Structure 1
Amino acid sequence: MGQHYDIIVIGGGHNGLVNAAYLAKAGKKVVVLERRHVLGGAAVTEEIIPGFLFSECSYVVSLLRPEIIRELDL
């Protein structure tokens, strides 16, 4: 039989991960589904060609509210 989850979060971007973290902290059994091979959404840095790293919009991580950073120990 398959796994049982209280919450399914669609999308492993920074917003989905923050939501999943808060829900898990509240005692919910959470799974995050992401179509890509990496988590983080726009807040990732990837090697798009050998030796060249590209940050799509990783500055968005700096826009997280300070209380989120504190509450989730980021």
Structure 2
Amino acid sequence: MDEPLIKVQSSAGETLIKANAEGLRVLAERLLELAGPGIRSGHHLHLDAGVDLEDGSSSLVLERADSL
């Protein structure tokens, strides 16, 4: 299995999320976690450069918002 690689770039009102196959799986798992039963609106996950994301990435916050 490959190492998950995820890069987030933001500019001019647009955000690009690039990832290899394993990185896309990791993102999908995080989104499914937020969509799970018992998770309250407002619960969020931070993905940061050099930790969850490739160096040079913009930080990314995934948040459940049931009021949308």
For normalisation by structure 2, the TM-score amounts to: 0.25
Higher relative contact order (CA closer than 8 Å, sequence separation 6+)? 2
Q: Normalized per residue, which structure has more helix?
A: 1
Answer with 1 or 2: which has the greater Rg: 1
Q: Normalized per residue, which structure has more strand?
A: 2
For normalisation by structure 1, the TM-score amounts to: 0.24
